[in-house]
Amino acid sequence: MNPSRQRGLTLLEVLVALSIFALAAGALLKIVGEHGRHAGQLELRYFAQLAAQNHLANLHLQPSWPATGKRTRKVELAGHRFTLTEQVEGTDNPDIRRVTARTTGDDGRLLSELQAFMGATP
């Protein structure tokens, strides 16, 4: 080996290393972007479920149980708007009713569906 020869990387080696780094950085940015998008969807589903839980809790606090049938209303929670659909059905026991609360987003996609059973108040 010639001691006067300089040690270091050639231009080709530097370009190959930079292209590998660019590919890795691009993949990492894509993963981070997907994670952020999924986190937003999880937040939306969480608040949709919370809106349905709040609705069912309010029904339990009413002095009389809800009439059978289907009702729809708009709700807003934490800056998110949802369409909440309540469906009340009778069961085999005349003193118990099944209540289903569904929340959908602006696009009509189902985000949450909860069911509760309510007994007749004495």
* Residue 59's pLDDT band (cuts 50, 70, 90): very high
User: What residues does each domain of the chain span?
Assistant: 11-119
Please compute the mean of the pLDDT values over residues 67-77 and round it to a whole number. 94
* DSSP code of residue 6: P
What is the pairing mode between strands 80-90 and 69-77? Answer: antiparallel
Beta strands in the chain, from DSSP E residues, in sequence order:
69-77, 80-90, 96-104, 110-119
pLDDT of residue 35: 76
CA distance 91 to 95: 8
Model confidence band, residue 88 (pLDDT cutoffs 50, 70, 90): very high
Mean of the pLDDT values across residues 24-28?
87
Q: Which fold has domain 11-119?
A: Pantoate--beta-alanine Ligase; Chain: A,domain 2 (3.30.1300)
